[in-house]
Amino acid sequence: MIGEGDRVLLVGEGREFFTRAGPGKLSTDKGQIELAGLVGTEPGTIITTHTGARFVVRIPRPTDFFVYGKRSGAPMLPKDIGLVIAYTGMNRNDDVLDAGTGSGVAAIYFGGIAAHVKTYEIRPEFSALALKNIKEAKLENVEAVAGDVLTAEGIYDVIHLDMQIAADHVYFAHDHLRAGGYLACYTPFLEQMGIVVDAAQARFPEVHTHELIEREMTRSKRGTRPSTSVSHSGYITIARK
């Protein structure tokens, strides 16, 4: 059930609106919606504007926070986050350390899977914004810390770094991983990827790097083919202790 203050996604009439249940009105080109009427509803409820336009109520998922959540910079793409989850085997028993929180998008994805996520962001204003997004995602198992990840304590199953990574960060991760745990490093440039790989190979017995490429399929009356636009975003290095 949706409570007052909860984030909701309204979908219909070729539109989507990321809004909040509670007092006030949402004005759209399809008419006004009384936001108080969202309180107490369930996902799938139909809400009607004063002009009769119909919208379906959805509870936002991590994909929606990627699109609509407030941003402090460019977040990791869902396809890249998915590769981290898949190649580390992240699951409900895991303690995850994340660094380079940014807007908190990756931490939100991880929080829906892992037992606990602790995410570090060295810029306090970015960490504060991420914390707002995490709270709106209603994830009590995600802790946002404004500080340097090198000050983190504890032992983790997965460590994920999306930041300016130096060899010291890789060595730190090795020291704070359980045996069999994984380090995942996102790097946008080959030069930084080389720093990560060299440092990881000095400490970890298993190191693999993957280029992150995505190509959408298009379908028309003429036929189906891959899009001519190729989305390259960076590299993920996976190291296992």
Question: pLDDT means per 10 residues in the chain (241 residues)?
Answer: 88 88 88 90 90 90 83 82 96 97 94 97 94 92 97 98 97 98 96 97 97 88 83 93 97
d(CA 146, CA 51): 46
pLDDT in tens, 95-109: 999 999 999 999 999
* 26 backbone dihedrals φ, ψ, rounded to 5°: -105, 115
Whether the model pTM is above 0.95: no
Sign of CA dihedral 94, 97, 100, 102: positive
pLDDT in tens, 21-53: 889 888 888 888 889 989 999 999 998 888 888
Whether 17 contacts 55, CB under 8 Å: yes
pLDDT for res 209: 97
Enter the tokens of residue 130.
Answer: 């991420």
Whether 22 contacts 4, CB under 8 Å: yes
Does domain 7-58 match CATH 3.10.330.20? yes
d(CA 21, CA 167): 46
Whether 157 contacts 116, CB under 8 Å: no
pLDDT for res 64: 86
Enter the tokens of residue 24.
Answer: 């006030």
CATH fold label, 64-240: Rossmann fold (3.40.50)
| Structural domain spans, the chain | 7-58, 64-240
Strand order in the sheet with 116-121: 142-146, 116-121, 95-99, 156-161, 177-187, 231-240, 206-214
pLDDT for res 230: 66
